[in-house]
């Protein structure tokens, strides 16, 4: 599954993370490969998590369940965002283009969800 997040409203972000958690709980973490692609305003999820301990715990919990958070490099460049500005982000989390990554994953058979 690939979840597409490109908005920054904290209420929507929390709802999306809840949807992802419910998805994993519904099928079991060993029965799903789940990726979250963040681009545009969606990168704000990890910026907000720098200060928001509730978001931090949700992100950490999902990562512990093998969820990957992929970050669009085009967004980082265009908005001059550094990895240090994002909660628990590493170079390994960065993809060249969020929309290209969404298409690539779908071509590989990932089902697409936009919460």
Q: What is the pLDDT of residues 61-77, one digit of tens each?
A: 999 999 999 999 999 99
Neighbours of 9 (CB within 10 A): 11
> Where does residue 109 fall: left (phi above 0), alpha (psi -120 to 50 degrees), or beta otherwise?
left
Question: Within 13 A of 54's CA, how many CA atoms are on the CB side?
Answer: 7
For residues 6-13, average pLDDT: 96
Give the count of alpha carbons within 13 A of 13, CB side only: 22
The CA angle 65-70-71, to the nearest 5 degrees, is 145
For range 20-37, the mean pLDDT: 96
Mean pLDDT over all residues of the chain? 97
Residue 84 is predicted with a pLDDT of 97
CATH 3.40.1260.10 fits 2-25+33-113, yes or no: yes
């Amino acid at each position: 599954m690939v979840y597409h997040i490109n908005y920054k409203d904290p209420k929507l972000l929390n709802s999306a993370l809840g949807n992802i958690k419910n998805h994993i709980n519904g099928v079991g973490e060993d029965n799903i490969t789940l990726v979250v692609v963040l681009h545009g305003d969606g990168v704000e999820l990890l910026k907000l998590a720098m200060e928001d301990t509730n978001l931090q715990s949700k992100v950490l919990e999902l990562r512990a369940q093998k969820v990957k958070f992929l970050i669009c490099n085009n967004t980082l460049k265009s908005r001059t965002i550094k990895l240090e500005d994002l909660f628990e982000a590493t170079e390994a989390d960065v993809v060249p283009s969020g929309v290209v990554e969404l298409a690539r994953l779908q071509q590989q058979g990932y089902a697409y969800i936009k919460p």
